[in-house]
């Protein structure tokens, strides 16, 4: 991976925290657990993991991390990536805790229940070959606004989008052997 001076954190209240830390380890990037404003202070990159968006969102509000993320992201000081529940929190409207950092509307649990979870291979714009993607009670991106680029789709619907400083994926790359998405976030954002 191209070396850059990134300081990476993962919001660590609930959900798939360790999995992101492990992918970071595979790439030689330390991923710090973030539970407070103090933890987030010097970060350049922050991941909001999958899990339960209501629980994660609630803790982000009570710690002030929600406003911090919005502000720092808007200034271009903090790159954000939300996987699944994290994507719900970075988009608009889908949750009472949605931060509105990227102009997309999402619908929660739109592929059905836990039992309807699935994994598939997807191709990412500009990437080489396919990468595995795991969907667990995933949201659907139902509207993509101006300034948002769709980087991957599944059955004709967007599943990976970005704007200048925000990346969202409705799937979980951290639950697979592939480090491609993390590499992309750490080196191209
Ligand atoms: N269904 C969860 C939510 O709405 C998201 C699931 C996930 O992150 N895998 O918050």
Ligand 1 touching residue 136 (CB < 6 A): yes
Q: Residue 108: CB partners within 8 Å, gap ≥ 6?
A: 53, 88, 94, 95, 139
Q: What is the CATH T-level fold of the domain 8-188, as seen in this structure?
A: Rossmann fold (3.40.50)
Ligand 1 touching residue 52 (CB < 6 A): yes
What are the phi and psi torsion angles at 103 (to 5°)? -80, 70
Kindly give the distance from the C-alpha atom of residue 84 to the centroid of ligand 1, in angstroms, as a whole number.
6
Among residues of the chain, what percentage have pLDDT more than 90? 90
In angstroms and rounded to an integer, the radius of gyration of the C-alpha atoms of the chain is 15
Least confident of 3-17, 79-93, 105-119: 105-119
Q: Is the pLDDT of residue 109 over 80?
A: yes
Give pLDDT, residue 79.
98
Q: Are 74 and 29 in contact (CB under 8 A)?
A: no
Q: Identify the active-site residue in 84, 101, 161, 182.
A: 84
Domain locations along the chain:
8-188
| Residue bearing the bigger pLDDT, 112 or 80 | 80
């Amino acid at each position: 991976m191209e070396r850059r001076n990134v300081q990476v954190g993962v919001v660590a209240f609930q959900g798939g925290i360790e999995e992101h830390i492990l992918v970071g380890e595979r790439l030689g990037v330390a991923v710090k657990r973030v539970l407070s404003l103090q933890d987030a202070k010097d970060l350049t990159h922050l991941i909001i993991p999958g899990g339960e968006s209501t629980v994660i969102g609630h803790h982000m509000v009570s710690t002030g991390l929600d406003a911090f993320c919005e502000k720092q992201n808007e200034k271009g000081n903090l790159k954000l990536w939300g996987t699944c529940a994290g994507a719900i929190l970075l988009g608009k409207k889908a949750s009472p805790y949605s931060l509105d950092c990227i102009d997309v509307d999402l619908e929660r649990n739109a592929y059905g229940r836990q039992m309807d979870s699935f994994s598939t291979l997807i191709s990412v714009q500009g990437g080489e070959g396919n990468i595995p993607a795991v969907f667990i009670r995933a949201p659907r991106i139902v509207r993509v606004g101006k300034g948002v680029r769709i980087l991957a789709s599944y059955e004709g619907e967007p599943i990976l989008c970005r704007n200048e400083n925000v990346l969202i994926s409705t799937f979980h790359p951290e639950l697979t052997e592939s480090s491609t998405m993390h590499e992309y976030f750490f080196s191209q954002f």
